[in-house]
Amino acid sequence: MTPLHRLAATIEDRRSADPDSSWTARLLAKGPEKCAEKFGEEAVEAIIEAVKGDRDRLTSEAADVMFHLLVMLAARDVTLDQVEAELARREGVSGLTERAARADGRADWGGDQQGQGQNDGQGS
């Protein structure tokens, strides 16, 4: 089991924990909107560190982002396995092909700002 899967399992366990004894339980008890807000705050902090170029701080903030993403997903009953399945579905699909296949307005996968480029499995 990967660290992300262990973390997702821990978050799932905390759903039934006492909010007075667990930060994760407390956050989940506040509802999905609060979880999303906290995820956004952490994402902004990661962006700031990326712009500053501090790799150590960016790494730390990225870990916070991933934790809060998993909490936000759990708050909406979306599992890491479901996200991984979506990533697998998109793997190797050109950004242009993905965009053409979607008429529902969801964000595309892979292309650059002009919708160009190929998905290399790394999200760029």
Structure tokens at 35: 């979880």
Average predicted confidence (pLDDT) for the chain: 86
Question: Is pLDDT above 70 for 81?
Answer: yes
- Residue length, the chain? 124
Which CATH fold topology does 3-78 show? Helix Hairpins (1.10.287)
Higher model confidence: residue 93 or residue 87?
87
pLDDT (mean) for 2-24:
96
Structure tokens at 98: 């993905």
Look at residues 73, 51, 53 and name the one whose alpha carbon lies nearest to residue 4.
73
Look at residues 83, 81, 82, 94 and name the one whose alpha carbon lies nearest to residue 102.
94
Can you give the C-alpha Rg of the chain in angstroms? 17
For residues 108 and 95, the answer to whether their CB atoms sit within 8 Å is: yes
Question: Is pLDDT above 70 for 77?
Answer: yes
User: What is the domain partition of the chain in residue ranges?
Assistant: 3-78
As to burial, measured by CB atoms within 10 angstroms (0-12 exposed, 13-18 middle, 19+ buried), residue 68 is buried
Question: Is pLDDT above 90 for 61?
Answer: yes
